[in-house]
A = this chain, B = another copy of it.
Amino acid sequence: MGALHEPLAQLRAVNETSAFNRWCGFEVLSAAPGQVEIVMPWRHEAGQYAGLLHAGLAGALIETACGFAAATLVGPVLAAHYAVNCLRPATGERFIARARVVKPGRSQVFTACELYACIGADETLVATGETLLSVVAGASGP
């Protein structure tokens, strides 16, 4: 199906169709060919036992942003593999995941992502990650 012609509008529409993304409050901040930013506001329900952002949610943000970045270039994708590095305790008012395509391909797309914890205008890098996505053949939408 190929590249998204209006990546921001199309990814925002896709984001709305994912119940988990809505539940978590993910929003697409920006989208361009091969690059996407998403944000999640902090909420109490996102915490692990010590009140930090749950590492599973750090991964969900990274994997989601990576998939969106890949979709801007190749359309619908599914994650085959992803990995998350938890660099620092993750606390903030909101969390921004910035993903980019490292290498697109016909059948698979390599992506990478940084996750920032934000308080006011301050951003702290709290996690990095990467996702290897499979292109969904014959799909009709992202």
**Bitwise interface map of A from 1 to 34 toward B, beta carbon under 8 Å scored 1, else 0:** 0000000000000100111111100000000000
Copies of this chain, complex-wide, total: 4
Within 8 A of B (CB), among A121-136: 125, 128, 130, 132, 134
**Nearest chain B CB to A99 CB, angstrom units:** 13
Task: Give the interface SS of chain A, mostly helix, strand, loop or mixed.
Answer: mixed
Tell whether, in the assembled complex, residue B82 and residue A83 are in contact, meaning their CB atoms are under 8 Å apart. Answer: yes
Contact partners of A85 in chain B: CB under 8 A: 80-81, 102-103, 110, 130, 132
In the complex the two chains form, what is the Cα distance from A128 to B110 in whole Å? Answer: 10
- A88, closest chain B residue (CB): B103
21 residue pairs bridging A and B, Cβ less than 8 Å apart = A18-B47, A18-B49, A19-B48, A20-B54, A22-B45, A23-B45, A55-B78, A56-B61, A56-B63, A57-B60, A59-B63, A59-B82, A59-B84, A79-B86, A81-B83, A81-B132, A85-B110, A107-B107, A108-B108, A110-B128, A112-B128
Interface residues of A (CB under 8 A from B): 14, 17-23, 44-49, 51, 54-57, 59-61, 63-64, 78-88, 102-103, 107-108, 110, 112, 125, 128, 130, 132, 134
